[in-house]
């Protein structure tokens, strides 16, 4: 049940959070889900942080961006396998808001802690369950593969 991505994508994902610091960054991960639950990321789609009320500790991906990413993925034979965002000066742990707003079961939610503008820990949480009653985040292994 690991999340696999190339070193290049991993670096890009983390760099995005450094660029938007002290605001949060967010984006969509396109890839493939294998039997058994492992996810492989093939492409990242950056999303604008549309939340203007408190962009430093909340993120939101606009529905139109989600649809666009889904369409881009479909054209390339890829699905949405997860989402990523950054936590400026906060640990790479999901917040209650992150949990409340997570609805894509079987998808990975990646969080990178950005401390004083530098990417530190990156964690991935798999959203398991089938509905609001039994959903859960499980820390999953991030595997860096070659190109």
Give me the residues that bind Zn ion (CB under 5 A), please. Answer: 95, 98
By C-beta, is 40 or 98 nearer to Zn ion? 98
3-class DSSP state of 86: strand
Q: Least distance (Å) from Zn ion to the CB of residue 76?
A: 27
Going by C-beta distance under 8 Å and a sequence separation of 6 or more, which residues neighbour residue 49? 20, 23, 24, 25, 26, 55, 59, 60
Q: Taking CB positions, which residue lies at the least distance from Zn ion? A: 98
CB of 78 or CB of 113, closer to Zn ion = 113
Backbone conformation region of residue 67, classed left if phi is above 0, alpha if psi is from -120 to 50, else beta? alpha
Q: Least separation, in Å, of the C-beta of 80 and Zn ion?
A: 18
CB-wise, 16 or 42, nearer to Zn ion? 16
Quick one: 42 or 60, whose CB is closer to Zn ion?
Answer: 60
Q: Are 39 and 138 in contact (CB under 8 A)?
A: no
Q: Least distance in Å: CB of 134 to Zn ion?
A: 21
CB of 104 to Zn ion, least distance (A): 15
Give the Cα separation of 71 and 56 in Å (integer): 29
């Amino acid at each position: 049940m690991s999340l696999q991505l190339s070193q290049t994508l991993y670096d890009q994902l983390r760099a995005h959070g450094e660029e938007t610091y002290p605001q949060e960054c967010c984006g969509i991960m396109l890839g493939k889900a294998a039997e058994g639950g492992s996810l492989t990321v093939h492409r990242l789609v950056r999303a604008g942080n549309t939340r203007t009320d408190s962009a430093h500790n909340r993120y939101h991906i606009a529905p139109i961006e989600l649809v666009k990413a889904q369409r881009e993925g479909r054209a390339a034979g890829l699905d949405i396998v997860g989402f990523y965002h950054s936590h400026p000066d906060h640990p790479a742990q999901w917040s209650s808001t992150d949990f409340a707003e997570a609805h894509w079961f079987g998808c990975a939610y990646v969080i990178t802690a950005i401390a004083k503008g530098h990417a530190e820990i990156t964690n991935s949480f798999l959203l398991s369950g089938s509905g609001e009653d039994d959903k859960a985040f499980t820390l999953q292994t991030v595997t860096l593969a070659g190109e």
